């Protein structure tokens, strides 16, 4: 998709749709767009109470076209609502623009940047771009009859009409990097489990390291055995495909803090011997969304090359299958840091693979902060539904930073406690820990488990089981995988 900025008079645009963003009418006044032709239609639609400029509302009109005169085929007003202006409103507006273009099968559009609104122009351009590019997303790789008339049309060219092109360009670049990377995470998640295996995670990390010059290491089963990663290897035992521990390092070459990102790369979670029920099991191909978010974020980091942080990304990748040598309830595994764990339920496998990745990472890289992302517990959906990710942390400052980045990026979180009482729930009679805590608080006991593997590092755990797919209904969020975590991490890194 090509995005350009133009100072041309919008009405001379010869594309399929010309969009204007308008605020919700105040009192008896119709929404104002600044374009006389469209304004007449807005006034009429307003008087008929059909168009008020509400968030997500659109009004499509068709200007009289005179021969030889260049003008767009459609003039469209998009409502941004009457709430206080914020970043999310412009993302939603961008998503609405993409959906409206799809409904008209338009591929070339112009969007007039609302330069008179009382909101920073670079942020308007950034968030509109995020919304349009994320809203334009679709995964069609496996659709073979793609010449169908009913097939949706996707955007190929967007022109922003703006007078001040420096600020708009600045924002547009940020938005584009974030959205392309978010879409990349969605692509990985949409791939089926019989294609996107641990090997594909390793291959994508290779692509990233070649493209951006990251240092890369990938450990297979024999190396994992020598590192005594009994959790990752244990979960992998039921599967034909070997496990992979993928490590990418972005280095500034300066004396800056190191941030370590760890993502659960469980390419299919059958539950293992503690087999999951059949209904909905197909969604467990998405159990790698944490790993996808971390690698997609490295794509953004490679593009932007931040100067304020060194970043280490680690993805433990494997499937969780019930094969003849699979881990069984009652088995005991020994992790990289020597801690032993009694496996009560083989379906609580995410914490087992993360435990090795975290304990190896904190020892090897001594990071200044550690963040892990994982589709870890169904319980987080009980607590927070599909609107916020669960956040647990041993550090208030890190936690606040993450919450702020979540609010800014439209990927909100809610912090849960990690008091020592929760850790008591995962004490085992026969080993150091057990992988399931009794008596409720399933999300927190999973967090309490991970805490045992980060030593004294400042650490935060983000449970994205409720938000990685089926995330809140929004114009720029598709029904399937949302790409959650990518923009959150990117915002955090940008503002560190
Ligand atoms: N991958 C699942 C968590 C999950 C559940 C993600 C639903 C998205 C939607 C995880 O590995 C799991 O199975 N967790 C168990 C833990 C339990 C056995 C303690 C769960 O939440 O049921
Ligand atoms: Zn599981
Ligand atoms: Zn899982």
Which ligand has its closest atom nearest to the C-alpha of 286?
1
Nearest CA to ligand 1 atom 17: 348
CB-based neighbours (< 5 A) of ligand 3, an ion: 266, 269, 287, 350
Instruction: Indicate which ligand has the atom closest to the C-alpha of 383.
Output: 1
Kindly report the protein residue whose alpha carbon is nearest to atom 13 of ligand 1: 347
Kindly report, residue by residue over 76-125, the tens digit of the pLDDT.
999 999 889 999 999 999 999 999 999 999 999 999 999 999 999 999 99
Cα of 156 vs centre of ligand 3, distance in Å, is 37
Quote the ligand 2 centre to 352 CA distance (angstroms): 10
Going by C-beta distance under 8 Å and a sequence separation of 6 or more, which residues neighbour residue 323?
Answer: 237, 238, 239, 240
Please tell me the number of Cα atoms within 13 Å of 149 on its side-chain side: 0
Pull the structure tokens for residue 232. 């990752």
Planar angle of CA 139, 144, 145, nearest 5 degrees: 110
pLDDT given at position 205: 98
Pocket of ligand 1 (CB under 6 A): 269, 287, 345, 347-350, 375-379, 436, 442, 465
Q: How far is CA 1 from CA 132, 134, 176, in A?
A: 11, 12, 10
- Rounded to the nearest angstrom, the distance between the alpha carbon of 92 and the centre of ligand 2 is 33
For 188, 212, 342, the CA distances from 461, given in Å and listed in that order, are 22, 27, 22
Catalytic positions: 276, 351
User: Which residue's alpha carbon is nearest to atom 3 within ligand 1?
Assistant: 377
| Cα-Cα-Cα-Cα dihedral sign, residues 65, 68, 70, 72 | positive
**Mutate which of 273, 348, 445, 469 to test ligand 1's pocket (most atoms within 8 Å of Cβ)?**
348
Please enumerate in sequence order all residues whose Cβ is within 8 A of that of 330, keeping only pairs 6 or more positions apart, or say none.
342, 343, 344
Among the bound ligands, name the one nearest to the CA of residue 281: 1
pLDDT in tens, 240-294: 999 999 999 999 999 999 999 999 999 999 999 999 999 999 999 999 999 999 9
The dihedral sign for the CA sequence 350, 180, 190, 236:
negative
- State the Cα–Cα distance between residues 91 and 313, nearest whole angstrom: 28
> Residue 203: its pLDDT value, please?
98
Q: Which atom of ligand 1 is nearest to the CA of 276?
A: 13
Q: Cα angle at 175 between 169 and 180, to 5 degrees?
A: 125
Please report the sign of the dihedral spanned by the C-alpha atoms of residue 213, residue 218, residue 223, residue 225.
positive
The whole-number pLDDT of residue 257 equals 98
Please give the pLDDT value at position 217. Answer: 98
Spans in the chain with pLDDT lower than 70: 66-69, 146-150
CB 210 within 8 A of CB 298: no
pLDDT at 71: 86
112 strand-pairing partners: 20, 161
Q: In Å, how far are 295, 312, 363, 396 from 257, measured between CA atoms?
A: 20, 11, 16, 18
pLDDT of residue 145: 74
**Other Cβ atoms within 10 Å of 424 Cβ, number:** 13
pTM over 0.75: yes
Ligand 1, residue 435: give the atom nearest the CA.
Answer: 19
Question: CA dist 452 to 60, 113, 202, 352, Å?
Answer: 57, 50, 27, 11
In which residue are the tokens 């606040």 written? 400
Q: How far apart are CA 258 and CA 246, in angstroms?
A: 17
């Amino acid at each position: 998709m090509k995005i350009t900025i133009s100072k041309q008079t919008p009405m001379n645009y010869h594309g399929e749709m010309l969009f204007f963003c308008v605020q919700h009418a105040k009192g008896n006044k119709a929404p104002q767009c600044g374009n006389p032709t469209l304004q007449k239609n807005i006034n009429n639609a307003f008087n008929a109470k059909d168009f008020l400029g509400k968030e997500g509302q659109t009004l499509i009109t068709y200007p009289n076209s005179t021969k030889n005169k260049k003008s767009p085929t459609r003039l469209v007003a998009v409502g941004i609502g009457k709430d206080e202006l914020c970043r999310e409103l412009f993302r939603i507006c961008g998503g609405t623009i993409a959906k409206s273009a799809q409904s008209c099968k338009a591929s070339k559009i112009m969007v007039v940047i609302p330069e008179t609104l009382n909101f920073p122009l670079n942020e308007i351009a950034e968030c509109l771009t995020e919304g349009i590019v994320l809203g334009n997303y679709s995964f069609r790789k496996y659709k073979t009859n793609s010449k169908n008339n009913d097939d949706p049309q996707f955007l190929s060219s967007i022109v922003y009409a703006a007078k001040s092109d420096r600020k708009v360009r600045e924002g547009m670049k940020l938005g584009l990097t974030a959205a392309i990377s978010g879409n990349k995470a969605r692509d990985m998640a949409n791939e089926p489990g019989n294609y996107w295996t641990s090997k594909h995670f390793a291959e994508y990390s290779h692509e990233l390291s070649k493209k951006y010059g990251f240092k890369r290491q990938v450990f297979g089963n024999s190396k994992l055995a020598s590192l005594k990663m009994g959790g990752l290897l244990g979960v992998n035992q039921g599967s034909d495909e070997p496990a992979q521990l993928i490590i990418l390092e972005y280095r500034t070459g300066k004396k800056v803090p190191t941030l370590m990102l760890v993502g659960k790369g469980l390419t299919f979670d059958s539950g293992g011997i503690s087999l999951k029920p059949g209904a909905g099991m197909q969604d467990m191909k998405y159990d790698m969304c944490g790993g996808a978010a971390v690698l997609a974020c490295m794509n953004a980091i490679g593009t932007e090359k931040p100067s304020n942080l060194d970043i280490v990304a680690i993805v433990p990748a494997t499937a969780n299958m019930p094969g003849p040598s699979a881990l069984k309830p009652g088995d005991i595994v020994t992790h990289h840091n020597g801690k032993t764990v009694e496996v009560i339920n083989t379906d609580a496998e995410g914490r087992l693979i993360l435990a090795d990745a975290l304990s190896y990472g904190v020892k090897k890289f001594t990071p200044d902060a550690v963040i892990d992302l994982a589709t870890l517990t169904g319980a987080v959906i009980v607590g927070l539904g599909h609107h916020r990710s669960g956040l647990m942390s041993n550090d208030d400052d890190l936690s606040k930073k993450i919450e702020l980045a979540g609010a800014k990026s439209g990927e909100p979180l809610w912090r849960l406690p990690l008091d020592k009482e929760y850790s008591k729930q995962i004490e085992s009679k026969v080993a150091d820990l057990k992988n399931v805590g009794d008596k409720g608080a399933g999300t927190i006991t999973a967090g309490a488990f991970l805490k045992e593997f980060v030593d004294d590092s400042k650490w935060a755990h983000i449970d994205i089981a409720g938000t990685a797919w089926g995330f809140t209904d929004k114009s720029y969020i598709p029904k399937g995988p949302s790409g959650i975590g990518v923009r959150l991490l990117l915002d955090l890194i940008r503002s560190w």
